[in-house]
Chains A and B, each alone.
Chain A
Amino acid sequence: MAFILDKVSYRYSEGTAYEMTALDQVSLQIQDGEFIGVIGHTGSGKSTLIQHLNGLLKATEGAIYFNGQDIYDKDYDLRDLRTQVGMVFQYPEHQLFEETVFKDVCFGPKNQGLPEKDVTLRAYEALRSVGLPDKYFDVSPFELSGGQKRRAAIAGVLAMKPSVLILDEPTAGLDPRGRDEILDLIAEMHVHYGNTVILVSHSMEDVAKYVDRIIVMDHGHVMFDDVPREVFHHYRELEEIGLAAPQVTYLMHEMQERGLDVNCDATTVDEARDAILQWIGNQR
């Protein structure tokens, strides 16, 4: 089991006029190899939650276990945790700093203390896997386009070969094509390496297509934690907290309400098509 969170609470600026509870008694279990989507509105605590997973924020109350070890233990090496739990922040391209793209990607593995040869190899592999053409390896990261910068920054985290990969809104500010490319890439990596992936987003549409499990956050609480189709059954409650189920969910429910007996479990367009075809088949 990768993570166990036991009644984790976090309060910002404790003891001042600005005190704010960002997480309230959150308990979770995350298994190895899961592909999880964390969804919530702005300020729901989703970013705060994931920053606990690699020890960047320390819970005000509660405990977190990674592979059976308490990460708040005095002897626990947080730097080691951070090499195992890779984190891609929102707008990761803002963290690029080196002279060349290649050097920047080397930063992570170098900090892991790997020998020069391995560092180079890993950086090369990572850049290849995000689909950045070779000709960009030796240019300044500041000369790349927005989408390319993001790929380079994601490569910088992948090069550390984390067993858990956390991505905070990796598609923010990208056009639809860039968004699909990045998400497809993450899904491919998940299948290929079998690593645990936690994808934070506020868009159900993005997440529904890829993940096996959705955690819905609202006001620092876990509201739902289930497989996508179960979560989307609560589409009315989701609307109340400012989220929406994928458009096909609405379509299927609408059809059912109008007397067509289709299966409402579909969460993606493909599944919806299958469900409708099946219904048509049954009619004959």
Chain B
Amino acid sequence: MLRDITLGQYYPADSKIHALDPRTKLFGTLLFIISVFSFEGVIGFVAITVFLFWVIHMSKVPLNFMLRGLKAIMILLIIAGMFNLFLTPGQPLVTIWKISITREGLRNAIMMTIRMVYLIMGSSVMTLTTTPNQLTDGLEKALHPLNKINVPVHEIAMMMSIALRFIPILIEETDKIMKAQMARGADFESGGLIKKAKNMVPLLVPLFVSAFRRANDLALAMEARCYVGGDGRTKMMPLVYTQIDRVGYAVVIGYFILLMVIKAVL
């Protein structure tokens, strides 16, 4: 059950998208998200859909992997959709009792749902094709200029990569402790909210203890290797743009301009 979390789960494959520099992917995702929230009309929608599915196809990640990420926000989507559908004032289409569905409401609900779904799918393309380490490396390098105004970019990136690295470990640990307590007759499923929360104690206490133990071990290991962050530190695999990244930038920017043109013309 804990294995269903896809956000931030890398899918190994040998594709053009995987080969891109993480900075290219970050920039591309950013532009894609902007385009998702600024498009209008059917032609814009078609352009975005074609682009998104083309990229997914290129990435060689199975489509159902992308869709799995949507499961988590399903309830949010439905609630937000309902609000838009029923609470937008305007020209009524259908009226049942005091509630009416308006033309504007229907439009808003559809647009909002498409935007949310594409937002999640678009960012899933990035997280599924980039390892967390690459991602933080890319962020660190992209945000490097902020160092000038005393933002500790390296330290933040380091913290992020450690946090990301620990997610699978903690999930595994949770799974293990859960099983150990279930073997002792613990029950994590039945009961009301308060009882459920109480039943979590045998899980959470050992989990916290182990998280602190691991943090302590890691700090010690880093210190033993004379770790100093920030200035003067070199990378084992420095990020360098290659031909494929130039093509990537060109494609993404071309796509963005095309979409802006469509928007301006219509």
Q: Count chain A CB atoms within 10 A of each CB in B179, B181, B185 and give the residue with the most.
A: B185
Q: Select B185's contact among A83, A89, A95, beta carbons within 8 Å.
A: A83
Is B254 engaged at the interface, CB distance under 8 Å to the other chain? no
Is B180 among interface residues, defined by CB-CB distance under 8 A?
yes
State how many residues of chain A have any CB contact under 8 Å with chain B.
Answer: 25
Contacts of B224 in A (CB 8 A): none
Contact with A along B226-250 (1 / 0, CB 8 A): 0000000000000000000000000
* Chain A residue contacts of B181, Cβ below 8 A: 95, 107
Chain A residues within 8 Å of B183, by CB? 54, 56, 82, 86-87, 89, 157
Instruction: Report A106-134 residues with CB < 8 Å from chain B CB.
Output: 107-108, 111-112
Instruction: Select the stretch in B88-96, B155-163, B205-213 that faces chain A.
Output: B205-213
In the complex, how many angstroms separate the beta carbon of A236 from the nearest chain B beta carbon? Answer: 35
Select one of A16, A87, A111 contacting B186, CB under 8 A.
Answer: A111
Residues in chain B near residue A13, CB distance under 8 A? 3
Q: A79-B187, A111-B184 are in contact. Are A94 and B11 (CB under 8 A)?
A: no
Is A156 part of the contact surface with B, judged by Cβ < 8 Å? yes
Known contacts A17-B12, A51-B179; is A94 also within 8 Å of B210 by CB? yes
Tell me, rounded to whole Å, the shortest Cβ–Cβ distance linking B100 to chain A.
44
Contact between chains at B180 and A82 (CB < 8 Å): no
B206 touches A89 (CB 8 A): no
Interface check A245, CB cutoff 8 A:
no
Q: How far apart sit A91 and B225, CA to CA, in the bound complex (Å)?
A: 27
Of all chain A residues, the one with the shortest Cβ separation from B203 is A97
Q: Are B184 and A107 in contact (CB under 8 A)?
A: yes
Q: Mark A156-177, 1 if CB is under 8 A from B, else 0.
A: 1100100000000000000000
A83 and B184 alpha carbons, distance in the complex (Å): 7
B209 x A142 contact (CB < 8 A): yes
- Pairwise interchain contact A97-B184, C-beta atoms closer than 8 A: no
Assembly CA distance A17 to B18 (angstroms): 15
Q: Which residue of A lies closest to B213 (CB)?
A: A94
| B176 on the A face (CB < 8 A) | yes
Judged by a CB distance under 8 angstroms, whether B177 is at the interface is yes
Instruction: Determine if B182 and A107 form an interchain contact, defined as CB atoms under 8 angstroms apart.
Output: no
The reply to whether B185 and A82 form a contact with Cβ atoms under 8 Å apart is yes
Q: Are B12 and A95 in contact (CB under 8 A)?
A: no
Q: Give the complex CA separation of A107 and B206 in angstroms.
A: 14
Q: How far is the CB of B203 from chain A (nearest CB, A)?
A: 8
Nearest opposing residue in chain B for A79, CB measure: B185
* B contact residues, range: 20 to 34
Residue B201 interfacial (CB < 8 Å): yes
Residues of B close to A95: CB separation below 8 A: 177, 180-181, 184, 202, 206
Which A172-220 residues have C-beta < 8 A from chain B?
none
For B208, give the chain A residue with the smallest CB separation. Answer: A97
Per the bound structure, the CA–CA distance linking A21 and B69 in Å amounts to 25
* Chain A residue, CB-CB nearest to B181: A95
Which residues from B are CB-within-8-Å of A96?
206
A82–B179 contact, CB under 8 A?
no
Cβ-defined contact, A111 with B185, below 8 A: yes
For A156, the chain B residues whose CB sits under 8 A away are 184
- Give 1 or 0 for each of A66-107: 1 = CB within 8 Å of chain B CB: 000000000000010011001101001011110000000001
Which of B177, B184, B186 interacts with A94 by CB under 8 Å? B177
- Which residues of chain B from 157 to 179 have a CB within 8 Å of any chain A CB? 176-177, 179
B202 touches A89 (CB 8 A): no
Given contacts A56-B179, A56-B182, contact A97 B201 (CB under 8 A): yes
Residues of chain B within 8 A of A94, CB atoms compared: 176-177, 180, 206, 209-210
Establish whether residues A92 and B12, one from each chain, have CB atoms under 8 Å apart when the complex forms. no
Shortest beta-carbon distance from B147 to chain A in Å: 38
Contacts known (A13-B3, A111-B187); A97 close to B205, Cβ less than 8 A: yes
Q: Determine the residue in chain B with the shortest Cβ distance to A57.
A: B179
Give the shortest distance, in Å, between B4 (CB) and chain A (any CB): 10
User: Are A17 and B11 touching (Cβ within 8 A)?
Assistant: yes
Query: B202 near A97 (CB under 8 angstroms)?
Result: yes
Chain A residue at smallest Cβ distance from B64: A15
Can you name the residue of chain B whose Cβ is closest to the Cβ of A89? B180
Q: How far is the CA of A56 from the CA of B201 in the complex (A)?
A: 20
Instruction: List chain A positions with a Cβ less than 8 A from chain B.
Output: 13, 16-17, 51, 54, 56, 79, 82-83, 86-87, 89, 92, 94-97, 107-108, 111-112, 142, 156-157, 160
11 contacts between A and B (CB under 8 A): A16-B65, A56-B183, A79-B187, A82-B182, A82-B183, A89-B176, A94-B176, A96-B206, A107-B184, A111-B184, A111-B187
Besides A95-B180, A108-B184, A160-B185, 19 new A-B residue pairs in contact (Cβ under 8 A), listed by A number? A17-B11, A51-B179, A79-B185, A86-B183, A87-B180, A87-B183, A92-B180, A94-B176, A94-B180, A94-B210, A95-B177, A95-B181, A95-B202, A95-B206, A97-B201, A107-B202, A111-B184, A112-B185, A156-B184
Question: Would you list the 9 A-B pairs with minimal beta carbon distance, nearest first?
Answer: A111-B185, A97-B205, A87-B183, A95-B180, A108-B184, A89-B180, A56-B179, A97-B202, A97-B206
